[in-house]
Structures are given as structure tokens and as C-alpha cells.
Amino acid sequence: MPQTYDFDLFTIGAGSGGVRASRIAAGYGAKVGVAEERYLGGTCVNVGCIPKKLLVYASEFSEAFEDAAGFGWNRGRPSFDWRTLIANKDREIERLNGVYERLLTSAGAQIMRSRAQLLDAHTVAVDGKQLTARYILVATGSWPTMPSFPGVELAISSNEAFHLPELPARILIVGGGYISVEFAGIFHGLGAEVTQVHRGPLFLRGFDDDLRATLADEMRKRGIGLHFGTLVTGLMRMASGIVATLSSGARLEVDLVMCATGRHPNSAGLGLEKAGVELDRNGAIVVNGYSQTSVDNIYAVGDVTDRRNLTPVAIAEGHAVADLLFGSSSRIIDHDNVPSAVFSQPPIATVGLTEAEGRARYGAVEIYKSAFRPLKHTLSGRDERTLMKLVVEPENGRVIGAHMLGLDAGEIIQGLAIALKCGATKAQFDATIGIHPTAAEEFVTMREKS
């Protein structure tokens, strides 16, 4: 007699990947249970992509007011209220939480607002109950990693940054990843004095070096203090604020310290080891191309696997798992040529290989670059440059990397990602007619090699 289970699929974590997998599986007729101990929608909806982009929009208005003068607008004296922004942001996030709940329940999935732990390969413990499942999906995401130095308990992570009661006047951001860069722009644009400290020689490791260096120049122009090759060695609470001691020996007094020094897979305490699921040395769940773990009936998607930690990737992985287990198709998600953006100010976006990666893989590459002042700023007077760059494999002329810093970078690179996915060549880029006047047309008019 075949084994019977309480659920066909039990998903631990109701973030983007877990919700997509659960919804699609339920749509195939599977009986699905979903456990979530924090908030529906995961990091992206609650303390990540969505609220962060809303804060980016808010912070951009300060420059927009300044730029308007060159176009004949009387700027007046605009003022900003942090509490209004956060209240409006919270209302939108609450709406999205409801959307995610309806997506699951309308599909027929059962939501359990509690922590789940694996007891064995087919059994989970939730709210003191033991439930069995034919398949288990782990989609618990990642969590901020805090550094270790004296006084670090005085600092916050990016999670708490979305719920500050007031906007601090002086802020120190520790870290050099995309979260730190984005929040530096957010806080600066909203009126805070911002200093960013990073231990490496330049932030945004993994992005193209020209974009990294140009973004640093643009941020300094705006008045953000950047200190590379520098560590925070300690924090101390004083009557007038928090004093940070730096490895250079300098002391900096601020009102808030935010550490954005990376994230780690949220895999601890789930009982994965008890079930026999293999983890790597960083705590990420080891999976194959089909998101299957070392235990045949247990799968994992999203940041907890530490592959490409992006929301659309987690969604694609979750959908593929549901199709594999309950549908009629099986596919491996291609993690190459995945576009990404950093909503810095100005923003950057990229798809494909960096120049350094191209040279490492092919030995030689052709580089096309264009740097210019955007048309908008010929009247605004703002000293800001746009940078565009193509990396081309010389043997067949295929474009293997596209990179941009400037207004609407994310929107523009999204379109180019399709071209790279299709294997477009530089000749095909050149044969494409541009839309004038736009910044994007520069990608099809670059003719001179760098």
C-alpha cells in the first residue's frame, strides 16, 4: 500500500521563491502546507527590494527639486518628513502581505504562521504538531551578517533601517555591498550627513571595475564620505552620539551606525542536519541543477542555497521545482546572463561578464565604452556622468557583457539582457536603430574600441 502523507508539498518559508513554488504546486492539485514565522513575502517585500526602492524614490526628490531650477521652476523651500514616508511605506507593505496571503489561500495552500523544523526527511514539527509531507521545500532566505568588533551591539542592520522612528542627522554605514551603497544614497538624499566605510580598496566587488570607480566618483561629488581600506575597530556610546574608532586612528561621531556587511543563508535551527541535508561551509544548502538537496525528496530554492541571490531567480527556481514535482516539465534554471541592478545614486545595472571576467575566460576581449553628460543635466547644471560599456568576445563578435551607470540603468539593461540571452553580436547591436534622444541609443552607436 503506498505511503500516505499529510501534505504533498510542505514549504518552509513564504518568501518569493516559496510562495511561487507553493502556489504553482497547489494549482497542479497538490495539497500544500506553508510555514512562515516572520512575514509573508520574505525579505524582498518586507525589508528588501520593495521598501528600499520606495525609499530610493523618496531620496531622489531632493536632487529633482534642485535640478528643476534650470528648467524654469521656482524651487521654494520643500521639507521632508521621515515619519510620513515610513507610515506610507508600511501601508504599502501591509497591502503586499495581504496579496501574498491571497495568492496562497486562493490556490488552496494552507498557511501556518509559525516556525517549522525538520524531524526527518518527511516530517516537520510546527506548533507542537508533527506533519508529514511527500516533498519538502526549504525557502528560508538569508539574514544580515553583523561584523565582530567592540560595541557592535550599538549598530543596526538593514532590517532595522526600515523602521527608524526618526531620520538621524549623522550616519555611518559599514560595508561595501549593494545594500550599503543604496542606503548611503537614500540617507544622503533625505538630508543626513553620510559616511561609508569599507575594508576593501573599492566597493561592489564582482561588478565591472569601471562602474565601481565611476560610482565612487559620483557619490563623492554628492558629498558622501567614502573611506576605503578602512575598518571600524570599535563603537562607544557618548552623550552626544556614537563614537566610531577607525583603523586609520580617526574617530567619527555619528547618531547612527548601520552595518551592511553581507548576508548569510538562513539555515540554522531548521533541523536540516537531522534530516541528512548537506550544507556547505557557509551554511548554504547544497543543491543540484533541479534544486534538489542531498535528500531525494527535499528541495531548496532562493538565498538559502546561495547561488544567485536575487528575487526573480528565487521565483524562477520555485516555479521550476513545482513543475518538476507536480507538473509535466523539468528544467534547469540558467544562472548565466542574469541581469542585476544597484539602486545607487546614480544607479548601475549589469548583465553578463565584466571586463575582468571576460579576459579571464577568453584571454582577450574587445571593449566599447562611452561616458557623457546626460541631456537632462545640460540644463540642470548637475555635474553627473553616464557610463556605458560593452564587452565583446572577439572571435565571433558576441556581446558577452553590458554595463551601465546612469539614469534608468536598470530599465535599459533589462532590455539588453534579452539580447545577450539570445547571443546577439556587436554587429547586430550596430545594425539596430536607436531611439533619439535617449541614453539607451548609445548602446547601439558605440563604434570605437577602448
Active site residues: 436
Enter the DSSP assignment of 441: G
Cβ–Cβ < 8 Å for 258, 156: yes
Helix, strand and coil content of the chain, in percent to the nearest 5, comes to 35, 25, 40
Length of the chain: 450
Helix (H) or strand (E) holding 329: none
Output phi, psi for 412, to 5 deg: -75, -45
**Backbone φ and ψ of 388, nearest 5°:** -130, 145
Q: Which of 372, 360, 395, 370 is nearest to 449 (CA)?
A: 370
In terms of DSSP H, where are the helices of 149-253?
Answer: 158-161, 178-189, 209-222
Phi-psi map region of 351: left, alpha, beta (phi>0 left; psi -120 to 50 alpha): beta
The answer to whether 347 and 47 are in contact (CB under 8 A) is no
The angle formed by the CA atoms of residues 261, 165 and 224, to the nearest 5 degrees, is 45
CA separation for the pair 290, 197 (Å, rounded) = 39
Beta bridge partners of 199: none
Alpha-carbon distance 225 to 254, whole Å? 13
**Do 355 and 401 form a contact (C-beta atoms < 8 A)?**
yes
Q: Helical H runs in 261-402?
A: 272-275, 311-326, 355-362, 376-380
Q: 17, 41 in Cβ contact below 8 A?
A: no
CB atoms within 10 A of CB 410: 17
The CA radius of gyration of the chain, in Å to the nearest whole number, is 24
In angstroms, the CA 138 to CA 195 distance is 38
Tell me the residue type at 286.
V
- Report the alpha-carbon distance of residue 275 to residue 23 in Å, rounded: 25
CA-to-CA dists, residue 27 to 36, 319, 322, 441, angstroms: 20, 11, 9, 42
DSSP at 41: B
